[in-house]
Amino acid sequence: MDRKETSVLLIYTGGTIGMIENSKTGALESFNYESMVHHVPELGKLNFNIDTVQFEPPIDSSDMHPAIWCRLASIIAEKYDDYTGFVVLHGTDTMAYTASALSFMLRNLTKPVILTGAQLPIKEIRTDGKENLLTSLEIAAAQIDGKPIVREVCVFFENHLMRGNRTTKINAENFNAFHSCNYPNLAEAGIHIKYENAYMLSPEEGKGMTLQNKYDSNVAILSLFPGIQEAIVKAVLETPGLKGVILKTFGSGNAPHLDFLMKYLKAATDRGIIIVNVTQCLEGMVEMDRYESGRQLLEAGVVCGKDMTIEAALTKLMILLGLNYTTEEIREQMTVSFAGELS
């Protein structure tokens, strides 16, 4: 395809990249896309077409919600055939959740969906937003033999292209804000953009992208810690309407030997609540039969989350719960890779 026929859809949801200081309070708040691009004249030099969709008003990503993931996924699905690739400008705070959710909502994706943002607003002299935006657009437009090089949902930040559902925000200060936990980066941007083809998803062509935009957010995250009280465990696991829990465990999936913990976990799984074991560690894998302290969770009916990030496990669970699967099917699917989210 001719570069001039190449088109990227840029979706601006909000985030620091497009924020400006409130003159009275000094706090950062979102401003519109037109003013933002005014600070990036380089956009006009790219030799492919860029169309834009703007969220009105732009949002701080702390206000992100599954309904907005559905809206985003629907925009991409509606315009899927018209564009070579998609770039989503998004706040960094919950970018890893949105990237994970989109990777489960856009099934059989064969085009790039690149999420990016910035730690410093684009109007600041030292902004990281310009590079992030321009390189993300280049990646979304990149093709070989008429086919997109990247065919999955990614996060691009500070020179690294990462599988979106493997990322976690790890730094609130540095430009290097994201880490791909348990999976190598998919590309590095220096003088050239070096793609690691061996690590990228190679989805089957011709199946057609399908949109899966249902969810059920009756879920919770229960993080274990030394000294956790029975009342906390009971309150979380007996929450009315609760359907799924991400249990954040120690190390390779271990939990303290507490009778009350096992009692409430077992009672919850017996009631059909799906409990998924994900480690509190940034890297490494849950192996529930490695220690007795992990094995007891298996006996209580807890599902192994392997090496999924919290963001991937939580969004996957919400989306599976939104479908008409049986509890057993969801338990099974939580352990199988949909979009490269687990090893």
Choose one: 60-68, 270-278, 292-300, 308-316; the region binding ligand ASP (CB under 6 A): 60-68
121 binds ligand ASP (CB under 6 A): no
Contact 155, 167 (CB under 8 A): yes
| Minimum separation from the CB atom of position 277 to ligand ASP (A) | 28
Is residue 326 among the annotated active site residues?
Answer: no
Select from 9-17, 44-52, 67-75, 301-309 the region that touches ligand ASP (CB under 6 A).
9-17
User: Which parts of 16-128 fold into alpha helices (H)?
Assistant: 33-38, 66-78, 95-105
How big is the site for ligand ASP, counted in residues (CB under 6 A)?
A: 11
Name the minimum Å distance from CB 155 to ligand ASP: 12
Give the DSSP H or E segment for 153: strand 153-157
Given 23, 62, 324, 326, the residue binding ligand ASP (CB under 6 A): 62
Tokens of 268: 């919850």
In this structure, what DSSP letter does residue 296 have?
H
Closest distance to ligand ASP from the beta carbon of 60 (Å): 4
Candidates 87-95, 104-112, 159-167, 309-317: pick the segment binding ligand ASP (CB under 6 A).
Answer: 87-95
| d(C-alpha 102, C-alpha 150), whole Å | 15
Which CB sits closer to ligand ASP, 91 or 148? 91
91 is a contact residue toward ligand ASP (CB under 6 A): yes
Would you state the structure tokens that stand for residue 228, as one six-digit string? 């956790």
Kindly provide the b/e burial profile for residues 276-313, where b requires at least 16 CB atoms within 10 angstroms of the residue's own CB: bbbbebeeebbbbeeeebbebbeebbbbbbbbbbbbbb
> How crowded is residue 130: how many other Cβ atoms within 10 Å of its Cβ?
17
124 contacts ligand ASP (rule: CB under 6 A)? no
| Residues annotated as part of the active site | 16
Contact residues toward ligand ASP (CB under 6 A) are 14-16, 60-62, 91-93, 117, 119
